[in-house]
């Protein structure tokens, strides 16, 4: 099983801030990593796949980087609609696993 450590679990920020979320793997997964955004009461939505490829329709203020064991999701200029919970997920091996989630809240 590949264990994932996502940090921080809670991030307080203001509109316009640059925020960074980290996801660390217990073993290397190349670039087989996705990031999802989830708003309360809604299904998750895909933001980024292959560690750094932006899903169609996702604003360019979102970016992903990393490979191997360390990955980062960056929101360059936080907008009001970005306050949500973010999850990383590896698809390198079964069982697929998600990070614990990072809630981005208004400061």
Partner 1 sequence: EVQLVESGGGLVQPGGSLRLSCAASGFTFSSYWMSWVRQAPGKGLEWVANIKQDGSEKYYVDSVKGRFTISRDNAKNSLYLQMNSLRAEDTAVYYCARARVVVVVNPTAGYMDVWGKGTTVTVSS
Task: Give how far Cα 106 sits from Cα of 49, 57, 58, 74, 81, Å.
Answer: 26, 24, 21, 16, 11
Which 17-56 positions form the footprint of partner 1 (CB under 8 A)?
32, 34, 36, 38, 42-46, 49-50, 55
Shortest Cβ 107–partner 1 spacing (Å): 22
Restricted to residues 57-96, the positions that interact with partner 1 (CB under 8 A) are 87, 89, 91-96
CB 88 within 8 A of CB 35: yes
By DSSP bridging, strand 102-106 and strand 10-13 are parallel
| Chain positions contacting partner 1, by CB under 8 A | 32, 34, 36, 38, 42-46, 49-50, 55, 87, 89, 91-101
């Amino acid at each position: 099983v590949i264990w994932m450590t996502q940090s921080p679990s809670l991030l307080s920020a203001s509109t316009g801030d640059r925020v960074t979320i980290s996801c660390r793997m217990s073993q290397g997964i190349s670039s087989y990593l996705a990031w999802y955004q989830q708003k309360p009461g809604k299904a998750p939505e895909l933001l980024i796949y292959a560690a750094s490829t932006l899903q169609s329709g996702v604003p360019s203020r979102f970016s992903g980087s990393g490979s191997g064991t360390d990955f980062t999701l960056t929101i360059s200029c936080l907008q009001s609609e970005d306050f949500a919970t973010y999850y990383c997920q590896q698809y390198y091996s079964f069982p697929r696993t998600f990070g614990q989630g990072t809630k981005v809240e208004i400061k």
